[in-house]
Chain A
Amino acid sequence: MAEIGKNHRKGATKRRAKKLSTRVDFTPMVDLGFLLITFFMLATTLNKPQTMEIALPSKEKTPESEQTTVKASKAITLLLGKANTVYYYEGTRVNEVDPELHATNFSPGGLRQFLLKRNYEVMEKIRNLRTEKEKKRYSEGEYEKQLSAIKKEKSAPIVLIKASDESVYKNLIDALDEMAICNIERYAIVDIAPFDLDLMAKFNTLTKAPDVSKQ
């Protein structure tokens, strides 16, 4: 009996030992897991770069009849100068009188104020359209259609962006940004003309230090 009891006890200890052996220490594995996670988190690029899509006119000459002529009263010319200044004038040279040139910068209170003022009608219409859409009168597709129709309206101003050789790439992007902000659909990047350079030179000699901060 005693032996049996002994045996019994032995068996019990064996069974306990088996139970213990199934337990594996996971800590190193978890450590490794988290290490790899940190590695992948740091190595991935989370912010994909943004892009702006632009389309330039093709170089092939379009016949005279198909060329779009810009009405002088609707035209705004932006001249990108050095040190982030931008000059603008409306219309063109009429009867030997130069258009008035203004200097400003790319801050929200600068060029944008002027463009928004000029594009007031379109902005107002877009605002109306948006409230209409909120009242669920338009579907998404229809809204887009209406929006582009408003932007393309004949009465909307046309902006010519002329970058001088002293300007930098950032100025061009800023100018294109302003077009998007002010909802100006009709704009073009045009080579600067000698007339514009003259105008800029004249302006700079008249006002020795263009006070941009006032704008």
Chain B
Amino acid sequence: MTAMCDVAFLLLTFFMLTSNFTKKEAAVVNTPSSISEIKIPERNMMLILVDSKGKLFFGIDGQENRIALLEKMGTLYNIAFSQNELKEFSLINSFGLPMNQMKNYLAMKEEERESLSGMGGIPCDSMDNQLKNWVSATRSISKEYRIAIKADQSTAYPVIKKLMGTLQSLNENRYNLITTLETSADLEQKL
């Protein structure tokens, strides 16, 4: 019995130390499959999510950097955020709403946020390109950040083109496209 107990706790410690929990993302994205086997780096990623309807979501990792980012964006859009709001923001993985709704969003409780299904996405057009500002603000905080695009497989191409154009105008020409590994089931689907 003691031996079994030992093994159980050994495994338990192993899983506790190696586990990193599934982070909840603002949108459900079904990524396309590819044969690429490069793993995505764990740290210093800015993630741009694109859902199947073409809405854009944004998120970075590192809680301190998130606070710095929101402060920067606040000064850019003349919105003052309180300490509490900054702290709330540092706990959000990714979000997709225009700056003028940010204050309301941060005032909500977590459950309310989850029930709020219709996030409008971050505006990214020539009139009001907030995504561009988010990316350039992140870049000004740390040069280390790498861009990852996680788009749904059924996202229409014009959205991707717009996104790539935005990044290109910031001179961000290298980025990662997140995919899942291709399985034989995917291959059959193609046929």
Interface residues of A (CB under 8 A from B): 26-27, 29-30, 33-34, 36-37, 40-41, 43-45, 47-60, 80, 84, 105-108, 163-174, 176-177, 180-181, 189, 191
Question: Which residues of B sit under 8 angstroms from A108, Cβ to Cβ?
Answer: 187, 190-191
B2-31 Cβ-contact flags toward A at 8 Å (1 or 0): 101100110110011011111000000001
Q: Please give, as numbers and ranges, the residues of chain B lying within 8 Å of A84 by CB-CB distance.
A: 190
B57 CB to closest chain A CB (Å) equals 15
Q: A36-B12, A43-B22, A169-B152 are in contact. Are A50 and B179 (CB under 8 A)?
A: yes
User: Given contacts A26-B1, A37-B12, is CB(A50)–CB(B178) below 8 Å?
Assistant: yes
Known: A49-B31, A51-B40, A173-B34. A40 touches B179 (CB 8 A): no
Residues of A within 8 A of B5 (CB): 26, 29-30, 33
> Which residues in B have their C-beta under 8 angstroms from that of A173?
32-34, 153, 177, 179
Partner of A169, one of B1, B12, B160: B160
Asked if B171 is an interface residue, CB under 8 A from chain A, the answer is yes
Which A residues lie within 8 Å of B37 (CB)? 50
Inter-subunit contact B176/A58 (CB<8 Å) = no
Min CB–CB distance A57 → chain B (angstroms): 7
Q: A59-B169, A169-B160 are in contact. Are A33 and B174 (CB under 8 A)?
A: no
Closest to B173 in A: A56
User: A172 contacts B157, CB within 8 Å?
Assistant: yes
- Contact residues of B: prevailing secondary structure: mixed
Contacts of A180 in B (CB 8 A): 35-36
Q: Which residues does chain A contribute within 8 Å of B178, judged by CB atoms?
A: 49-51
Q: Across the interface, which residues of A come within 8 angstroms of B168, CB to CB?
A: 56, 58-59
Task: Chain B residues near A106: list those with CB within 8 A.
Answer: 190
From the candidates A41, A55, A168, name the one contacting B15 in the complex (CB within 8 A): A41
B99 within 8 A of A: no
Q: How far is the CB of B81 from chain A (nearest CB, A)?
A: 31
Residue B156 interfacial (CB < 8 Å): yes
Residues on A with C-beta less than 8 A from B31 are 49
Pairwise interchain contact A40-B15, C-beta atoms closer than 8 A: yes
What are 27 A-B interface contacts by the 8 Å CB criterion? A30-B5, A33-B9, A37-B8, A37-B11, A37-B15, A40-B19, A44-B21, A47-B181, A48-B39, A49-B178, A51-B39, A52-B38, A56-B168, A163-B160, A165-B157, A167-B157, A168-B156, A169-B32, A169-B153, A169-B154, A169-B156, A172-B157, A172-B160, A173-B153, A173-B179, A176-B177, A177-B35
Q: Is B143 an interface residue when CB atoms closer than 8 A count as contact?
A: no
Q: Which 8 A-B pairs have the closest CB atoms?
A: A33-B8, A40-B15, A170-B153, A44-B19, A51-B176, A170-B32, A169-B155, A173-B32
Closest Cβ of chain A to B167, distance in Å, is 8
> What residues of chain A lie closer than 8 Å to B167, measured between beta carbons?
56
**B106 at interface (Cβ–Cβ under 8 A)?**
no
Query: Which residues on the B side are within 8 Å of A191 (C-beta)?
Result: 161
Q: For the complex, what is the distance from the CA of A188 to the CA of B14, rounded to whole Å?
A: 45
Return chain A residues, CB-CB under 8 Å to B68: none
**Residues on the A chain within 8 Å of B1, using CB:** 26-27, 30
Could you tell me the distance between the alpha carbons of A26 and B34 in the complex, rounded to whole angstroms?
A: 48
